[in-house]
Structure 1
Amino acid sequence: MDLSQRKQRILKAIIDEYIGTAEPVGSRAISKKEGLGLSSATIRNEMADLEELGYLIQPHTSAGRIPTDSGYRFYVNSLMKRYQMSVEALEKLNMIMAERVNHLELIIKKASLIASTLTEYTTVVTSPKLNSSVIKKLELVNLGHGNVMALIITGTGMVKNQSVAISLSDEQAAELSKIISDRISGRTADELTFDVISDIEALAAKKLDIPSKVLINILNFVYEAIDSLDETEIYVNNAKSILSYPEFSDTKKAREMLEFLESKENLVKLIGSPKDGVDVKIGTENEFAELENSSLVTVNYKVGDKVVGRIGVIGPKRMNYAKVIASLDCISNQIDKILGEMYSTESEE
């Protein structure tokens, strides 16, 4: 059944009011809204119809109404007004994101913090899939006492390091670094084949008097480090913000939600699959029971046309959807721009 214009106006007014107050909304409060021009009796009848249609629910007999998941869905799809970010907020966002940071992890963490600050909700960001990232070099640093620090650096500034228990002189460490770097520099993780690694091993054995066991330890690190570049990392900001919302005044619900947000596996499943554009999941539309009182808004960020990660906001179902969507849209555009410049520079080097 299509909703009449009057029912739509009343539903929008109720949801707008509930988003701001978190209190069940009665007909009297709505009748005072400018522009409706409807009596309390008329609004009560329309509210009863909206409840029967599944868009509203009355939590207590004497209480007003609150939106159902279906009510929120209709609101998001058809009723809410586009949020216009202030010039001041846009300038601040542009200024912060434009600060030169060459380390990919810091860029993503910064984006997560900005999203949390703008929306005042919990933010979750996945790290980019880096299997297409170009490897810049490997460095071996002699720490002494039979230990070497091995570091792999990508063109985007991502660093993987590990201490390897081997004995090398400073000269051997420098020469082996050069041999390995010469053969992995400019390659993606996918291009580090067994043949490439075998070539490194053969050349190192020929040029340097290094036992094969030493080479195996270092090359194992290369394998593991490059393989781990494709692992998804999750960054969470402002998780405890849920404690400030009445929806989580129940200690048990709040604890379950906080525990959910601590699970990397849950969060990867929650926002890991790319969707087109902005994706909004409301209450029971989420696959996890812990989010039945929450909504999730996610958006992709890209390098060129390729989706490499996602940024999401988790908040109560009565979140300010328009503001969250506008904020994420602006932030993802900034990330796209920065990553595009980084990867473009990387490919030119």
Structure 2
Amino acid sequence: MKLNSRQRDILRATVRHYVNTAEPVGSKSLAKGYDLQVSSATIRNVMSALEGSGLLYQPHTSAGRIPSDSGYRRYVDELMVPSEPLTRRMETTLSDRLDWNGLAMEALLKESAQVLSRLSGYIALVTLPHVGTSVVKHLKLVRVSDHQILLVVLDIYDNHSVLLPIAPDPKDSELKDEHLDIDAELQVLSNFLTNQLRGRSLHDAKLDWSDLDQTFQRYTEALQSAIADLAKKTSTAPNSQILISGLAEALDQPEFAEREQIRSIVQLLEDGRDQLWPLIANPLLPDTETGSPLAKRQRIRIWIGAENPLEPMRACALIASRYGHSPGPTGSLGVLGPTRMLYENAVAAVEAAANYLTDAVSGSQIEGVGVS
């Protein structure tokens, strides 16, 4: 159903009134509280047409009307304007409260989740960032015994290490001065590897050994094998941990008054994070095909009511976004609340948090802030 301007105005007013009051909306309330410039009888007729189109419904025969999941979807896609004042407030609060140069990444994300839940009024969900391919910052070789050395690789979030054997030096069978020789050689090799690989992925580690003296040939085979092993190790699946904040406050909403509804949501957040993870971690996939204005917004995806694939969330709305830029570190965040959500504020808060964390994880590539 294509809405005319009057239908759009009345649907918008109905959603806003219901979000504010949590009470079914009647035509007299809209006529009194909104400048619709039409009579209550006209409003009633339009609301009836919207109900016939599945955008509103009556919970009881004698009650007013409330938005359906389809009504919220139409509102979000066509009528909603995210709150610019809240976006600025969120950005200011994050900047004032958080200093990502002074925080480990996980601590920063926990604080961000707290700010997001407080300003949105809903449950905040934030995933730890993942780097699709490890980007090298520094490499170090250290002798740990007469027959082994340790290769340590620092990437932008973590450090990785592997032991490898030392082949004997064919030119010297005596060990009395070999320790000094090995330490010096390892320092040269450390500098060589760092210069060759800094800023690159271990998967792209095609080393040019031609600049090295023949002395170092005894290390090359073991080093190439060790670097290949580390490349496989750092390409494992991302950490599926989800940081959660604001659960107690959000459950004060009237939609969660039923004990069973509370139990199912809490159980999902505590024990079903493996099910929740794909929704949070891949927020863009469905909306890119709709062509709606929402799909063009920055990294935003919204599931409303029955659109949610998980049963405990069928009375909820989930707004999710990515932060970061691939191939660098990326993660996701979102808010979960009732379908009777103040979408303008929730979308603005999620966007502002995503922008802030994008700057933070992008900066961490330079500053070296890591996950604790």
Instruction: Quote the residue 1:27 is aligned against.
Output: 27
Aligned to 2:128: 127
- Give 3-state SS (helix, strand or coil) of 1:265's partner: helix
Shift of 1:133: 3.5
1:304 shift after superposition: 6.4
Amino acid at match of 1:271: I
How big is the shift at 1:29? 1.0
SS at match of 1:81: coil
Asked if 1:251 is matched to 2:259, the reply is yes
Identify unmatched segments of 5+ residues in structure 2.
141-151, 162-178, 207-217, 285-294
Q: How does 1:128-167 map to 2 (within 5 A)?
A: 128-134=129-135, 154-155=155-156, 158-159=157-158
Query: How far did 1:12 drift?
Result: 0.9
> What SS class does the counterpart of residue 35 from structure 1 fall into?
coil
Please state how far the C-alpha of 1:309 moved relative to its aligned partner.
Answer: 1.5
Q: Which residue is 1:271 aligned to?
A: 280
Q: TM-score, length-normalised on structure 1?
A: 0.74
Q: 2-side partners of 1:229 and 1:125: how far apart?
A: 17
Counterpart in 1 of 2:9?
Answer: 9
Contact 1:294 1:316 in 2 (8 A): yes
Q: Distance in 2 between matches of 1:95 and 1:39?
A: 48
- Aligned equivalent of 2:165: none
CA distance in 1 between counterparts of 2:106 and 2:19 reads 34
Q: What is residue 268 of structure 2 aligned with on the other side?
A: 260
Distance 1:242 1:225, change over 3 A: farther
Q: How many residues align?
A: 319
Q: Displacement, 1:228?
A: 5.5
Equivalent-residue separation in structure 2 for 1:2 and 1:24 (angstroms): 24
Question: 1:2-44 CA distances to partner (integer Å, 9 max, x unpaired)?
Answer: 2222121111111101111111111121110241133222222
Moved more, 74-83 or 16-25: 74-83
d(CA) in 2 for partners of 1:235, 1:126: 6
For 1:319 and 1:239, the matched residues in 2 are separated by 15
Cα 1:180–1:339 change in 2 (3 A) is: farther
What secondary structure, in the 3-state scheme, does the structure 1 residue paired with 2:118 have?
Answer: helix
**Structure 1 range deviating more: 270-279 or 257-266:** 270-279
Two-structure CA RMSD over aligned residues (Å): 4.2
1:321 corresponds, among 343, 361, 364, to 343
Q: Judge which range, 294-303 or 65-74, deviates more.
A: 294-303
Shift in CA distance, 330/242, structure 1 to aligned 2, threshold 3 Å: closer
For the Cα contact (< 8 Å) 1:299–1:311, is it kept in 2? yes
Residues 1:229 and 1:284: Cα distance change in structure 2 (over 3 Å): closer
Given the alignment of the two structures, is residue 331 of structure 1 paired with residue 340 of structure 2, yes or no?
A: no
1:241 pairs with 2:249: yes
Q: Which residue of 2 aligns with 1:94?
A: 95
Segments of structure 1 that go 5 or more residues without pairing to the other structure are: 140-150, 163-170, 194-201, 207-217
- Tell me if structure 1 keeps the 8 A contact 2:54–2:70: yes
Deviation at 1:312, TM superposition (A): 1.0
Distance 2:83 2:366 in 1: 33
Shift of 1:191: 5.9
Question: Displacement, 1:307?
Answer: 7.3
Classify the secondary structure of the residue corresponding to 1:105: helix
The equivalent residue for 1:85 is: 85
Structure with the greater alpha carbon radius of gyration? 2
177-186 or 263-272, which deviates more: 177-186
Partner of 2:112: 111
Amino acid at match of 2:277: V
